Amino acid sequence: MNTRRHWDLFCTVIDNHGDLGVCWRLARQLAQAGQSVRLWVDDASALAWMAPDALRNSLQDIQVLPWAEASEPELLARLPAADIWIEAFGCTVPEAFVTHAAATRKQQPAWINLEYLSAESWVPRMHGLPSPVMSGPAKGWTKHFFYPGFTPDTGGLLREANLMSRQQSFDRAAWRQRHAPGPAPGALLISLFCYEPTVLPHLLTQLAGTPHHLLVTPGRPLAAVQQVLSQLPVETMSPLWSALPYTDQDGFDEMLWSCDLNFVRGEDSLVRALWAGQPFVWHIYPQEDNAHHAKLEAFLDWLKAPQSLREFHRVWNGIEDAALPSLHEATLNEWGDCVMSASQRLLAQDDLLSQLITHSATTYAAP
């Protein structure tokens, strides 16, 4: 991992909290490992709050470049050739970029197709498989599929080298006092980062009248909560809640570490919730063909989720039409034990960054 290489990381933004979040974490960890990274992205606006230093060019070894510039011949002629290309989440390297590389390089870079995260059984079979390029300027070159995952026969998960030490030295009580000073001692502190679950009204009315404080993250979660509350009858008791500001990625981790229960969504925050070791509920990204149902069940199987956690996930994700299970202390303790056990299993496995570096070293060819 001490060999310095140059990486081109390509990202097109669909959900700026997810795909860009993962790519920025990867870019930052590569730089921390002594690598040089160019992050090509079509919409970097979310980095203004997710990673403020990124757009101020104050981070060494990381360049954030507009996607459109990857097709400008004059710029490409000035840039040093990268040793590794990563296409994140199904995006495609711009054709002009490939054409320039094919015309100026003697050999191809290590070319990695970094896929979405899944616990489904087919992932280990697909991980690492070659994908020959059959046409176009890069004909004869080969890409490799790289699948993140939860088991040792996959690509693993992103995990900073200092993550556990940061978490152990974190002052949880001070964070809670700053962000939720109102609840009585023993009240349940809950973070909410979700899409628009149809059972959100049920959750909010379920919390009302119980000792709790709901911390709502900005964007879609805040808009969803405000809409639900505006439609509740006047006589309905409302939950105790407050809105959080946008925060950088380290701040998001601290929120997960501080809360007794975390509602998370998508891919990046799922992984962070696992590392946090606190009880959590995952709102999986919904797909029109309901392919996310099988993906969720596969994850719950890997997690060894107790029945109450399975039921809550199915209702929260709209798979089952039922009432949300109650959030009793014994239930949350059972969920927490489950998550901690899963986190310990993951800590015993190689992380995504180290596996990417090892893979690229074995397939790297000098330009």
Closest of 23, 313, 292, 62 to residue 148, by C-alpha: 23
Q: Give the total number of structural domains in the chain.
A: 2
pLDDT band at 295; cut points 50, 70, 90? very high
Closest of 152, 175, 360, 203 to residue 278, by C-alpha: 175
329 catalytic per annotation: no
- The string of pLDDT tens digits covering residues 224-239 is 999 999 998 877 788 8
Question: 339 and 359, same structural domain?
Answer: no
- The string of pLDDT tens digits covering residues 302-333 is 999 999 999 999 999 999 999 999 999 999 99
Domain contains 275: yes
Domain contains 22: yes
pLDDT band at 256; cut points 50, 70, 90? very high
Question: 197 and 89, same structural domain?
Answer: no
Domain contains 12: yes
Provide the terminal-to-terminal Cα distance of the chain, rounded to the nearest Å: 20
Q: What pLDDT, on a 0 to 100 scale, did the predictor assign at position 16? A: 65
Q: What pLDDT, on a 0 to 100 scale, did the predictor assign at position 345? A: 97
* Residue 33 contacts residue 7 (beta carbons within 8 Å): no
Residue among 8, 19, 160, 260 flagged as catalytic: 19
What does the alpha-carbon distance between residue 233 and residue 157 come to, in Å, rounded to a whole number?
A: 44
Q: Over the Cα atoms of the chain, what is R_g? A: 22
Question: 199 and 143, same structural domain?
Answer: no
Question: 343 and 359, same structural domain?
Answer: no
The CATH number of the domain where 63 resides is what?
A: 3.40.50
Domain contains 1: no
Question: 146 and 276, same structural domain?
Answer: no
Question: 316 and 167, same structural domain?
Answer: yes
What does the alpha-carbon distance between residue 152 and residue 322 come to, in Å, rounded to a whole number?
A: 36
CA 340 to chain centre: 19
Q: Which domain holds residue 172?
A: 163-347
Question: 285 and 138, same structural domain?
Answer: no
Residue among 61, 254, 260, 267 flagged as catalytic: 267
The CATH number of the domain where 256 resides is what?
A: 3.40.50.2000
Question: 167 and 26, same structural domain?
Answer: no
320 catalytic per annotation: no
Question: 310 and 236, same structural domain?
Answer: yes
- CA count, 13 A, side-chain hemisphere, 330: 1
Question: 183 and 122, same structural domain?
Answer: no
The structure's pTM equals: 0.94
What does the alpha-carbon distance between residue 252 and residue 255 come to, in Å, rounded to a whole number?
A: 5
Domain contains 124: yes
* Residue 248 contacts residue 17 (beta carbons within 8 Å): no
Question: 24 and 49, same structural domain?
Answer: yes
The answer to whether residue 73 scores a pLDDT higher than 90 is yes
- The string of pLDDT tens digits covering residues 89-101 is 989 999 999 999 9
